[in-house]
Chain A
Amino acid sequence: MGMVKDPARVEAIAENIADAQAVKGRSLWQDAMGRFFHNKAAVGSVFVLAGILLFTLIGPFFAVWSNEEIDWARMANVADVGAPSIENGHFFGLDSLGRDLYSRVIQGTLTSMMVGVVGASVAVVIGTLYGAVSGFVGGWVDNVMMRTVDILIAIPYMFVIILLMVIFERSLFMLFVGIGLFSWLDMSRIVRGQTLSLKQKEFIEAARAAGVGWFVIVVRHIMPNLLGVVVVYATLLVPGMIMAESFISFLGLGVQEPNTSLGALISDGAGTIMYDQIWQLAIPLTFFLSIVISLFFIGDGLRDALDPKDR
Chain B
Amino acid sequence: MLTRTILRSLLAIAGLTAVFGFAYPAVMTGFASAAFSHQAHGSLISSGGRVVGSSLAAQDFTAPRYFHERPSATTPAYNPGATTFANLGPTNPQLAANVHKQAEAILKLERPYNPGLTIGDIPVDAVTTSGSGIDPDISLAYAQLQARRVAAVRHLPLAAVEKLIRENTTGRSFGIFGEPGVNVLELNLALNNLGDK
A and B: real partners?
no
Interface residues, chain A, with chain B CB atoms under 8 Å away: none
